[in-house]
Amino acid sequence: MAEGFELRAYCYLDRMQPQYAAFNGTVTQGDLPVEGMASLYVEMAPGNWVFRIVDVAVKSTGARPGSQIVEREFGMFELHSHSQADVQRAGEVVLAELGVELAERLEPFIASMQVITNVDPYQAQLLNRFTRGSMLVAGETMLVLECAPAAYINLAANEAEKAAAVNLMHIPSVGRFGRLWMSGSEADILAARDAAVTAIESIDGRSA
């Protein structure tokens, strides 16, 4: 592996939830995902490594690429398949090609988190201008969650949807931080928040 390389995130989703898959389909650049697929997000620096690694992974397995992004600091890609075995095999191929162990990924952390109850209608309208997901309705409770590395926000969103009847609004997962906006009743938001936090805290790795 080249000097200075960093495996920032290795994030596996066992089964995409309906809203999460639908949102992902609005932002993906490549093969469209659907509910029930397994998915793998890998984030690294320098970012240009993604091109070689995606090429090797899709040639070696049945997983299809949804995203392949190089931004100012990092590179990130996503692979998915109806077969969990294909996605898990793609992950093995990726790690082997990079010459790194899973334990070398960064341990994620929550940078900020707020629960906002009884959202004002004017704030709801302002936020709705930026979302590709569900619309925020005045009076609902909203969760805003921010984590690093950014790719792990996908795991947080997917596990939150598994746990409660929440509405996913916005899930940007590229850059220094990943961010999640979701809305619902206060009880559902609290249950989803706990699931999202548990998912992030369950990921081991090296300290940043």
Say how far residue 55 (Cα) sits from the centre of its chain.
21
Cβ neighbours for 123, distance < 8 A, ≥ 6 positions apart: none
Render pLDDT for 47-97 as a digit per residue (tens, 0 to 9).
999 999 999 999 999 999 999 999 988 999 999 999 999 999 999 999 999
Q: Is the dihedral of CA 108, 113, 119, 123 positive or negative?
A: negative
Render pLDDT for 164-200 as a digit per residue (tens, 0 to 9).
999 999 999 999 999 999 999 999 999 999 999 999 9
pLDDT band at 141 (very low <50, low <70, confident <90, very high): very high
pLDDT given for residue 72 in this prediction: 85
Residue reference for tokens 């992004």: 69
pLDDT given for residue 29 in this prediction: 87
Render pLDDT for 104-123 as a digit per residue (tens, 0 to 9).
999 999 999 999 999 999 99
Q: Which amino acid is at 152?
A: Y
pLDDT given for residue 65 in this prediction: 97
Q: Give the three-state DSSP class for 98.
A: helix
pLDDT given for residue 157 in this prediction: 98
Average pLDDT, the chain: 95
Q: Give the three-state DSSP class for 47.
A: coil
pLDDT band at 1 (very low <50, low <70, confident <90, very high): low
Within a 10 A sphere around the Cβ of 2, how many other Cβ atoms? 8
Cβ-contact 177, 146 below 8 angstroms: yes
pLDDT band at 4 (very low <50, low <70, confident <90, very high): confident
Residue reference for tokens 């005045």: 138
Domains and CATH numbers, the chain: 6-104 (3.30.70.1710), 109-201 (3.30.70.1710)
- How distant, in Å, are the alpha carbons of 36, 47, 53, 91, 159 from that of 72? 32, 8, 19, 24, 28
Residue reference for tokens 């000097």: 3
Helices 153-163 and 18-27: crossing angle in degrees, nearest 10, is 150
Cβ-contact 76, 174 below 8 angstroms: yes
Hey, what are 205's tokens?
């790795």
pLDDT given for residue 189 in this prediction: 98
Residue reference for tokens 């290795």: 10
pLDDT at residue 5 is higher than 80: yes
Q: Is the pTM value of this prediction over 0.75?
A: yes
Residue of 42, 38, 80, 46 whose CA lies nearest to 63: 80
